[in-house]
Amino acid sequence: MIITRTTSSLSQISDVIARGGVIAFRTDTFYGLGADPFNGDAVRKIKQLKGREDHKPILIIVSDRAGVTRFIAAPTPAFDLLADIFWPGPLTLIGQAAPGVREEITAGTKTIGVRLPADDKVRALIEACGGALTGTSANPSHREPARAAAEVSGYFGDTIDLIVDGGEVATIQPSTVVDVSGAEPRLIRAGAIPWISIQTELNRSKHI
């Protein structure tokens, strides 16, 4: 089922999540598959939908900065620095997973990627669903990320509980993914925020 994302539809969307369902929704980059990250059955359903290998972790999108504490055990200085500068925005930061984060999310890595999206409507949807959702891209593995609700439907049909039509995305790049769980930040995936911009901020902080 495809519904339009409106303020009045948020209760219907949150009900699906509360029942352990999976939704597709427009993030601040591409469409994502959203579920309660603390519901193991829902997370496993996402991996089945994507045909995803168990060794690949699933990123989390939060509605506000405070939500990070539910997922990151102890943010490193680099985590906090980059979050201060680039959030809200298309930057996924990987940190050490907090106790209670499911292994289905971390895929045994003991780390987790978190992003605070730069879109008020996206954050409101996430807030209505408990403040955090999985945010892995809404496409089968090895296929292009969906940029519109119709593309999601073409990929998955009625195997998804709900597709939330938030309009076509404007971006052509995914979020940049940076691992800041250790001593030295590492670029995991190039994306909307250039790596050189991130390096510049990291280097600047060393001279303050």
Cα(145)–Cα(29) distance, integer angstroms: 10
pLDDT band of 54, cuts 50, 70, 90: low
What H or E segment, with its residue span, contains residue 111?
Answer: strand 111-115
pLDDT band of 72, cuts 50, 70, 90: very high
Cα(14)–Cα(17) distance, integer angstroms: 5
Quote the mean pLDDT of the chain: 94
With a cut of 80, say whether residue 42 has pLDDT above it: yes
Regarding pTM above 0.85, the answer is yes
Among the ranges given (30-34, 38-42, 77-81, 140-144), the one the predictor scored with the smallest mean pLDDT: 140-144
Give pLDDT tens digits for 170-184: 888 999 999 999 989
Tell me the domains of the chain and their CATH numbers: 2-206 (3.90.870.10)
